């Protein structure tokens, strides 16, 4: 799809630091984090609340500028939101007046893609995320899991290279959460994206990722960069294998 040298990592985070300043003083949210992400990798970032996870995703998406350091996507610095990055927020963030189909076509409408073309792309994704038949439903009539499916479809509609997910399943119940994790893996395999997902659920992180970054709180520091060498496709039962438990143990110790 692109002619960029594929040896180069897709994303490079270099000495990233964030300090929030207001009248009351300043708060260091992230303290010098550096890492890089290869193409088509699935990365999870875990950490307790207050570890600057959301701040990190806001910087990667270009919604927030770092205080120090920089982030490079395909070799060019991210300074503001840009093409090629899809975001799924904590809340589904759908427009309540738009149907499922129209929520998914929104990013393409903004790019002035003809509506017929936008709709056909959206329909493809609706099928991919398992919402066929719900095209004309309104967000208010959907369950939490379905809402996040719509949000995922919306983030994929522009065919981004990098997909950022900020605790997308945080508001879901445990069972739906596991199911959505498996769904996300299926979508990731089907679409070959680079994924960075924030979560506070260590088990979820190990289950999903190729690599898990553990961040400690206040200020956010990269404590552990853990490679997850578990065989794919993964199954729910894998969560009880000694390797899996060992990895979660390692992450837990790194964060505490």
Residues that bind another protein (CB under 8 A): 61-63, 81-83, 85, 87, 89, 91, 93, 95-98, 106-107, 109-110, 138, 140
- Give the C-alpha separation, 71 to 35, whole Å: 10
Kindly tell me which of 107 and 181 has the beta carbon lying closer to another protein. Answer: 107
- Give the C-alpha separation, 16 to 32, whole Å: 5
Our measurement of the distance from residue 127's CA atom to the centroid of its chain's CA atoms, rounded to an integer in Å, reads 20
Smallest distance, another protein to C-beta of residue 93, A? 5
Query: CB-side exposure of 21: number of CA atoms within 13 Å?
Result: 5
**Token match 């399943």: residue?**
169
Smallest distance, another protein to C-beta of residue 50, A? 20
Kindly tell me which of 65 and 245 has the beta carbon lying closer to another protein. Answer: 65
**3-state DSSP percent of the chain in helix, strand and coil, to 5:** 35, 25, 40
Smallest distance, another protein to C-beta of residue 61, A? 6
Kindly tell me which of 166 and 201 has the beta carbon lying closer to another protein. Answer: 166
Kindly tell me which of 57 and 185 has the beta carbon lying closer to another protein. Answer: 57
Number of H helices, E strands in the chain: 7, 10
Tell me the β-bridge partners of 211.
43, 227
Kindly tell me which of 122 and 228 has the beta carbon lying closer to another protein. Answer: 122
- Give the C-alpha separation, 37 to 16, whole Å: 15
């Amino acid at each position: 799809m692109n002619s960029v040298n594929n040896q180069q990592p897709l994303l490079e985070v270099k000495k990233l630091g964030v300090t929030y300043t207001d009248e009351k003083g300043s708060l260091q949210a992230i303290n010098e984090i550096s890492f890089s992400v290869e193409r088509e990798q699935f990365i999870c970032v875990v950490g307790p609340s207050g570890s600057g996870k959301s701040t990190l995703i806001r910087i990667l998406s270009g919604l927030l500028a770092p205080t120090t350091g920089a982030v490079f996507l395909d070799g060019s610095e991210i300074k503001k939101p840009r093409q090629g990055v899809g975001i799924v927020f904590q809340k589904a963030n759908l427009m309540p007046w738009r149907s499922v189909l129209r929520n998914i076509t929104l990013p393409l409408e903004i790019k002035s893609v003809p509506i017929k073309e936008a709709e056909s792309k959206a329909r493809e994704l609706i099928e991919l995320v398992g919402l066929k038949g719900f095209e004309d439903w309104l967000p208010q009539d959907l369950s939490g899991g379905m809402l996040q499916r719509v949000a995922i479809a919306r983030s994929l509609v522009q065919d981004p290279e990098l997909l950022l997910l900020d605790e997308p399943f945080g508001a879901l119940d445990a069972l739906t959460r596991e199911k959505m994790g498996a769904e996300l893996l299926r979508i990731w395999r089907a679409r070959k994206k680079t994924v960075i997902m924030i979560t506070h659920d260590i088990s979820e992180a190990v289950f999903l990722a190729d690599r898990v970054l553990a961040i400690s709180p206040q200020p956010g520091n990269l404590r552990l960069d853990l490679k997850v060498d578990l065989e794919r496709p993964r199954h729910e039962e894998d969560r009880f294998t000694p390797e899996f438990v060992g990895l979660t143990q390692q992450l837990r110790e790194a964060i505490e």
